[in-house]
Amino acid sequence: MENKRVPEELDPEAALGLLDRAEFGRVAFLADGVPTVRPVNHVLLDGRIVVFTRHTSALGRAVRRQADVQVAYQADQIDPGTRTGWSVLVAGTAADVSRGPHAAQLGLQVQSWMKLPLDMVIAIEPQEVTGLRLAAESGGPR
């Protein structure tokens, strides 16, 4: 069974377009010095990835501890059946924008799926955006 894939690089604009249409992704960050990762809902607003969480969550604590903390944000949509899809990775800095203008509206725009009291809006400023696509016919017509 030869159905392996050659990943094709996406340009940053295409990658951000895919991220824009996704409803959730995963944020990787340091929690007490140890790398961890959490699934979260997001919305792309003015080029920033906005997430809505709680001050007491692991991500909330990491962002409160240090201004502009380094994070990675990843989203993908991959079908295990066909082994096709895409993955996008953003390296950037995360900041608490809960006290910024329109923070409440910002948070609601995220449309979190969680039935939890959320009180912290975090914005991730992208520094580097990369992405790859897995297609059945690499280089061929799609």
- Site residues (CB under 8 A) for its own copies? 3-7, 23-24, 26, 28-30, 34-39, 70-72, 74, 76, 78, 80, 83, 87, 89, 91, 112-116, 134, 138
Least gap, CB of 42 to its own copies (angstroms): 12
CB-facing half-sphere around the CA of 136: CA atoms within 13 A: 6
Q: Which is nearer to its own copies, 48 or 86 (CB)?
A: 86
Q: Which helix (H) or strand (E) segment is 78 a member of? A: strand 69-79
Q: Which is nearer to its own copies, 39 or 100 (CB)?
A: 39
Q: How far apart are CA 80 and CA 62, in angstroms?
A: 33
Least gap, CB of 36 to its own copies (angstroms): 5
* Distant-in-sequence, close-in-space partners of 77: CB < 8 Å, separation ≥ 6: 18, 22, 85, 86
Least gap, CB of 121 to its own copies (angstroms): 17
Residues in a beta bridge with 123: 50, 95
